[in-house]
Structure 1
């Protein structure tokens, strides 16, 4: 606890701290002068001089108390203080739903280390770059599920992104269900700017139980004024051939559908060939969707010199008390 306290101490006038060198210098001068003042005389026996009382041991205590008082005064002049810097973001953000594919094809290793892990890493960086936005998370494969509604608690979003894994939902690729779920979450709030970032590596694979197809989800997004940015993940043909036989390496990306969704909602379509391209895509989206905010920083300074002045006064009073009572000397 004491270590942490001193870790937070800073000095307003640190250039005064070298004056503390005067303390050991004065101690050296004091003891040098004592040695010079010593005199000698011849006696028949020194037996009686070997007996020492408490006063003999404490004779230099007033001097040390005065030095401690001087050190405290010098430290007080340097103005030690604890600075507490607090900052908060104020402004108007954007409501963003991340809609991420978690089908087994996202295990493809044409991205490093695989598609799902690359998508998670880049999504985490994106969330960290949006300090005032409300962000939510929807995962989809053969079904869709809201992992987090819109929130400014970005720590919660980051935890949910890290928890994403292939196989957490029924396998498949229902792009329409994922988009519709994301739009539903956005339409329940009254934000001026609503955005979905939809990332997938496949095309719609509808089972008989499908409720909403991609084109219906597109019309819902348009009606709700939601802008959709679509990101298709597919490694280069060379990468896919190199990973032939590995689970999830096939790519059936539906470029036409993703382009149509983005174009008709006022967003943009991007195709990612590797993790580096994916990072560039998220950076472009970050630049396109700007939040209006300002960072307000407040610094609270708690002065600590008062405690040093009290300590210096205590040492001086104790030194005077000892010098004129118990350790009093006569000429």
Structure 2
């Protein structure tokens, strides 16, 4: 006698009508800045042969992932706010869930790969060209894509075996896995087990790799005699560390901290930080603090202007 649900209701960030225009303008601006900034990074790297190095190849992939990451969530959110219709179909929800998982995990792996690249460059500079050769770069990037595609597919297929019979209200601004599992009226044991396993390996694993890489990077920097050399090395790493800190602190807060009765609003704020704010900050951090990127962007903009 149970009725199957074919649509979900996304509650969004706020239910107050007077706040909707402000949210629409704010997130539209953040979305445009993110897409434009990351697109400029991709174009600058692809047009300048001096930037065809492992570090910038990984950065171009991170920028592409950030564009896909934010485009999976924000356009639908803006459409719901603009139309006043907060419904999302079952198929749209699963599609959003799949691409969200894909690009979130891809960001996760690429940040770890970039940390490893900086570790080799600073701790073993004489062996950098041999270690981070073109074959190694292709394997790292391709491996990240393959693992994330398979992981997102597994989670999505596991959700398709669940039954949803009410309520259909998702207290979030997109179809995230955790609030979606709470609406299922069939057993979610396998889904929860897979979520814990993935959180313990695909999230914590790269995070530990990043911390280990930067521990050895810090030791290598402290052995540098020149104060100017130390400053340059710390400057190159600080931008990456700031993105890593924001991304992992908020993601771990959403998926690994014990849930509470007041965690719904906190989870939505944390989700905004790692799904919207982090992709928006990447272009500023990696371009404004990097002389090579600033030079490539100036050449690109000058060429387009001419």
TM-score for the superposition, normalised by structure 1: 0.25
Higher RCO (CA-CA < 8 Å; seq separation 6+): 2
The structure with the greater share of residues assigned to helix is 2
Bigger-Rg structure (1/2): 1
